[in-house]
Structure 1
Amino acid sequence: MESGCAGLHFTDRGFQAVDNVLEITNLSKSFHHVQAVSQLSLRLEPDSVVGFLGPNGAGKTTTMRMVCGYLIPDQGSVRICGHDVATQRREAQMRLGYLPEAPSGFDRLTVNEFLTFCGQARGLSRQPLRHAIDRTCQRVNLGEVLGRPLAELSKGWRQRAWLAQAILHEPEVLVLDEPTDGLDPNQKELVRALVREMKPGRTIVLSTHILEEAEELCDRAVVIDRGVIVEDAKIDRLVDPSGRLAARFRELTLGV
């Protein structure tokens, strides 16, 4: 799939100029009368890596699951390249790659079978699918475990397999929820290098508890606390003179 979706596109509103690749409007979600996300709105452009930051329980994963269509919001909408995630799910999903936090499932499938299934679900078949699997496995160094079931893989290998399915179809929007969690230093650097490589022409949303990761990779940071955006700014406006986010993050989320 060719990357980049800014421009003129046919959507459920007819032909529309699409400048914001990802548009989130007034998104809200509650669980048992607890407001997890409240009136969250965000516009993200191509060629950017946006850090989605916040303390535990802030609403980051809930927001990402709604963005990716895996959780229905109580209110609001999400558009990917102009396509509404709720009413144009297939069109939106074709342009989206998602790595969930602590992914699981498909344990009986080998890595090759898993990637084949994911590719077919996104419209790839035959030679293009084979090329996509070969290219992606080379990117994330998966070749040596292609024939092994997911159930037999270590956490690091499993994380790489799930990362591979997220980028297999060259999506315009890539949502990564704690992508380096549980990885060793070499594996973490591989993921970070991949984020840098995939940035041109794409919108990458990176949720991480590792502030140094956001400092290194992100152009912009969106900080969420108790389901509400409390800051949205370029990274260089948030870091201290030594290039660190920690002080501003504590101020925004703890008030100190």
Structure 2
Amino acid sequence: MARRKKLYEGKAKVLYEGPEPGTIVQYFKDDATAFNAEKKDVIDGKGVLNNRLSEFFMTGLGNIGIPTHFIKRLNMREQLIKAAEIVPLEVIVRNYAAGSMAKRLGMEEGTRLPRPIVEFSYKDDSLGDPLVPEEYILAFGWANQQELGEIVDMALRVNDYMSGVMFGVGIKLIDFKIEFGRVYDGEFPRLILADEISPDSCRLWDIETGEKLDKDVFRRDLGNLTDAYTEVARRLGVLPSNVTHPNTNPTLIN
């Protein structure tokens, strides 16, 4: 088979031209980065776990009526997704103070917020993905007023779903980051959830112990990242309960 055309390579994923117009193959790498890629490593099995977990969440969100880019999982590291024009924003939903918010505001990590807070950052690694207010988003045309309202509404719906699912398996959803894209029905754009949802893009704490089950394990040198992600997958039923780690070397077909 001919090698697929690479469209884009990021820190954690590679995008390839899909088999049909309007589709893309999303490949999950084992690379782990933190602090805007100042810290890097390769974590065996991370891509496999994130592929399965993102499939799980995107499928669940689609089932409750939230449109996503997910079509189907192709193999252990790849999924078929809809091509979309990515809105250049990272949408962050926070339920508890942690990470940069706790540092900015001098709050103790784990402090419950009065209500979920939605923040936006401008997607530009060279600038460190700076936080931006809604006024910037509208002024620079990154999204219009209607789209911004839809983004906030969908982000809060995602939060409701994710919080409930995680609580059901003994995990506290501290915060998470999502992205959105536009697909077109003729000349009319509509928004869909894009990118991924995985422990790479969420903060997840065990409700009883406070143990971190997300990328903070890597950021803060708290243990084995694959073990943390595997525990999340096991609790959600994505992996059998007797599996301690996934097959880390799947055979990929190009």
The structure with higher relative contact order (CA 8 Å, sep 6+) is 1
TM-score higher than 0.5 here? no
Determine which structure has the larger helix proportion and give its number.
1
Report the TM-score when normalising by structure 2: 0.33
